[in-house]
Amino acid sequence: MTNAELLAEKKARLAKVIALEKPDRTPVILMEDSFCAVHMGVKLSDFCSSLKRENEVMVSSVKAMGPGVDGITAPYGAGNLFPLIFATKVKLPGKELPDNTLWQLDEREIMTVDDYDTIIDKGWGAFQRQYLIEKINYPFDSMMEQLGHGQEFINNFEEAGYLVYSPVVAATVNEQFGGGRSLPKFMRDLFKIPDKVEAALDVIQAETVAVLRQQIRAFKPQVVFLSPARGASAFFSPKLWERFVWKYLKATAEVIIEEGAAADLHIDGDWTRDLEYFKELPKGKCIFETDGTTDIYKIKEVLGDHMAIKGDVSPVLTSLGTPDEVYAYASKIVRDIGPNLILSSGCSLPPNAKVENVKAMISAVTGR
């Protein structure tokens, strides 16, 4: 089989799972970035030096795992892009941190309450660029230039026969304030000035969704990753959750689906209370990507005939466990979750995951 044929087979397999049809086998998608650097013996400082470097290293790492892997979540790492999602400074290895230390979000209150008004009056785009450059020293223009090479980064995987699961990445808009104001201050704002926060979020949402539509039209992705990173039900009362998380999560997922892609809902933390809400989204168009905190069996029970499920081999297992333990868990969910499953780690593979454990996870679908 040529790489092009292999890629077509993998895309078709994924499409079947998302549409809730029966695939020939469970697809396995690796969600990883820092792990690839460690796997390839590349220092994290070198890895993070550019999106191009991240892409090169990630392509080599996926190839080294063998053709059984269907694809990778994103074409480059997350560390450099965090400020765009969380409005927070990120400390990078080789810059603010030692060469082989994982990047760190340096969350503190940088946005002010007055910034809500500025955003409402002047719009998000102009504010965001100036904020990132002036307040957190983010190399905004260089990053935009690098992101402009997105298609090349995707091609590097596809030419090798691996799909890029989600070439377009989005986060729900509340994260901009959860990070920029800092989570404690943002939470206080939700009690003290909820109307103002909502008005500012509506402005960000309108602009973000317009950009997202353009990106989807440009890249024509099969799937778009959408992270409501700190939107877990465990954080909010039902009233606040509905108003400040679900409203934006649902609206953004609907736009993704309207533009012809499937929405990968990246669900970290405990969302058990609100699983029923996800039935409001169209059937066969979403993937519930669990990090393992929301129990995968519970997700199947509530949403199993509504959307595909991605997950959820735990980072504790891939880093501290043995290949046999990983294989046993992965095989168990492949069997129990059935044709709805996209096998993956629960959120990212940790940098200290053992290579033989990742191989054991893959072999649960490709055979040992």
Partner 1 sequence: MPAKNNVEVLCVNNLLAHAMVRLDEDSVHYLFKQGIEQGIDSLTLLEEARAGVQKVSELYNCGKYFLGDLIVAAELFQDIACMALETTMAPTTSGLPPIIFGTVEEDIHDIGKNITIGILKSKGFEVDDLGVDVPPLAFVDAVRQTGSSVICLSGLITTAYDSMKKTVSLLDREGLRPGVAVVIGGLVSEEVRRYTGADYWVKDCTTGCQLCDAILHSGPVKKAVHL
Nearer to partner 1, 49 or 104 (CB): 104
265, β-bridge pairs: 226, 288
Contacting residue, 268, 306, 357, 361, with ligand B12 by CB under 6 A? 268
List, in order, residues 6 or more apart from 294 with CB less than 8 Å away: 267, 269, 270, 271, 272, 275
Nearer to partner 1, 146 or 233 (CB): 233
Contacting residue, 204, 353, 358, 365, with partner 1 by CB under 8 A? 353
Binding to ligand B12 in span 86-125, by CB under 6 A: 102-105, 107
48 contacts partner 1 (rule: CB under 8 A): no
24 contacts partner 1 (rule: CB under 8 A): no
Inter-residue contact 327 to 364 (CB < 8 Å): yes
**Interatomic CA distance for residues 115 and 131, integer angstroms:** 10
329 contacts partner 1 (rule: CB under 8 A): no
- DSSP E strands in 14-56: the ranges are 29-30
**Interatomic CA distance for residues 202 and 316, integer angstroms:** 38
CA 45: distance to chain centroid? 22
174 contacts ligand B12 (rule: CB under 6 A): no
Instruction: Give rounded-to-5 percent helix, strand, coil for the chain.
Output: 55, 10, 30
Nearer to partner 1, 157 or 271 (CB): 271
Inter-residue contact 44 to 99 (CB < 8 Å): yes
188 contacts partner 1 (rule: CB under 8 A): yes
Nearer to ligand B12, 70 or 268 (CB): 268
Q: Report residue 282 as tokens.
A: 């169209």
**Candidates 141-149, 151-159, 321-329, 341-349 — which segment interacts with ligand B12 by CB under 6 A?**
341-349
Nearer to partner 1, 205 or 357 (CB): 357
Question: Cα dist. 142→135, 147, 208, 219 in Å?
Answer: 17, 9, 20, 20
Kindly list the residues in this chain that would bind partner 1 in the complex (CB under 8 A): 101-102, 104-107, 183-184, 187-188, 190-192, 232-237, 240, 315-316, 318-320, 350-353
Residues at the contact surface with ligand B12, assessed by CB under 6 A: 78-79, 102-105, 107, 183, 229-230, 268-269, 291, 293, 315, 346-348, 350
